[in-house]
Structure 1
């Protein structure tokens, strides 16, 4: 489904992980377009601040953790009751934490997977059936080029994003007969609080505002898969093509994300 600025009613957009980084940047882009917004994040005070800074926009805020499927379902019901079914649902909430197997990080592995993968499924769940029946709406998942290969020290994040990529592809085909597009957006390195503490060079680093603008454009075009910044698509393809023995030797000594606090 292609969205046009000429449509009669404003877009209705539901975004998770909307309190900072990519999610907040996406919310700002759609607010400038005059969209009705439903914003979900754990930090309710940040959502409230965003709403206060956009007093002329209809914005519903939902302080909730995407690991809580019941809370997400309640937020979805409330948004639909107030404004109707959203035109775009963006599953953006995500966490990235350094982990190591055998070092007591099992809870962190589970937390990352619950947020980045199951949280995405739980975000779409309350809307998918209604969209199929109405034969309209768009589901958008924020994945990552980190899901292309397993990055040492980031096994939880890479695994969660690989799962998200596969899930979004399956969902895209499932929803196709119902005319409901599923858009996969795979960021490279984006300047956000999540990447601020990475102790290594981040090639092609892109500002969150620029990423959000390009993402909104891709969604409006009906793009099924996009990587931003675009050079990372080339880098990801080259990374995927590397023979295992080459990949192992190159990345064995690569800088790694620090392990989660408390480990």
Structure 2
């Protein structure tokens, strides 16, 4: 059944591939991202009757208010919210950099929580709404290249679980999709069979927007390896995973 879907981080990477896939399936999509030029090109590609957008930063409350107001004006009623905006930048080179740490925490943690806060009231009124966080297996482990990225993903994932615990009885769903390596601009490792294509991941996610599960792991093989590797100490895991980067 066609659904109105909001995607943050829709201008590139997995978010863009998701917008393309969901529109192809007949859904209407509203994208939010900072790059107006990329959003406009996506609108030209997908058509102005199926794809709508707001250019801005989800950390800016005015961006979210503008998006909500414009949605109401045209009758766009999102029932699914895909929280995909994220960033990875090393905060350890040449030494620890607190400003990059703060920027990563803001984007990867405060960003999705701010989006939830903005749309939560209307979802509670309608007694429906499915918030899906594009999390990562990086949330399971520390990373040699960055302190903030795994910490932000872990915190955001735990927050979604908390929302789910509190609001599920009121008709709302909160799902973490833990992604393995995906060949986007944020992946700096080697190409291998463990690194998924964004379009493949987009199709897999699109098939699960109606799922009532709290946790989903995609693709199966790489995320399965990540989960069983939790039996290993961090140092040994870092050595092994370094072979693929």
Who is 2:216 aligned against? 226
State the match for 2:8 in structure 1: 16
In the alignment, does 2:195 pair up with 1:205?
A: yes
- The 1:57–1:223 alpha-carbon spacing in structure 2 relative to 1, beyond 3 Å, is farther
Structure 2 gaps, min length 5: none
Matches of 2:28 and 2:118 in 1, distance apart?
18
Structure 2 residue 78 is the aligned partner of structure 1 residue 86: yes
Other-structure match for 1:169: 161
Correspondence 1:38 to 2:30: yes
Structure 2 SS opposite 1:80: helix
* Conserved? CA contact 1:90–1:139, under 8 Å: yes
Query: Are 2:229 and 2:237, in contact at CA under 8 Å, matched by a contact in 1?
Result: no
Following the alignment from structure 1 to structure 2, what is the Cα–Cα distance between the partners of residues 250 and 137?
38
1-structure distance, mates of 2:215, 2:192: 22
Rounded Cα–Cα distance in structure 2 between residues aligned with 1:47 and 1:62: 8
Q: What residue is the counterpart of 2:235 in the other structure?
A: 248
Matches within 5 A, 1:144-155: 144-155=136-147
Counterpart contact for 2:54–2:66, Cα < 8 Å: no
Secondary structure at the counterpart of residue 209 of structure 2: helix
Distance 1:106 1:172, change over 3 A: same
Distance 1:99 1:203, change over 3 A: farther
Cross-structure match for 1:124:
116
Query: How many corresponding residue pairs?
Result: 245
Q: Against the structure 1 CA distance between its residues 239 and 206, is the aligned structure 2 distance closer, same or farther, given a 3 Å change threshold?
A: same
Structure 2 distance, partners of 1:33, 1:252, is: 42
Moved more, 231-240 or 110-119: 231-240
TM-superposed deviation, 1:253: 8.6
Kept in 2, the 8 Å contact 1:135–1:180? The answer is yes
Once residues 206 and 41 of structure 1 are traced to their aligned partners in structure 2, the CA distance between those partners, rounded to angstroms, is 23
CA distance in 1, matches of 2:240, 2:207: 38
Q: Determine if contact 2:142/2:234 at 8 Å carries over to the other structure.
A: no
Q: Which moved more, 1:17-26 or 1:147-156?
A: 147-156
Corresponding residue SS for 1:15: strand
Deviates more, 1:221-230 or 1:139-148: 221-230
CA shift in 2, pair 1:254/1:86, >3 Å: closer
Q: TM-score, normalised by structure 1?
A: 0.85
Aligned partners of 1:117 and 1:186: how far apart in 2?
Answer: 15
CA RMSD of aligned residues (A): 2.3
Q: Is the contact made by 1:144 and 1:185 (CA closer than 8 Å) also made in structure 2?
A: yes
Looking at structure 1, the residues matched to 237 and 170 of structure 2 have their Cα atoms a distance apart, in angstroms, of 44
Please say if 1:238 is aligned against 2:228.
yes
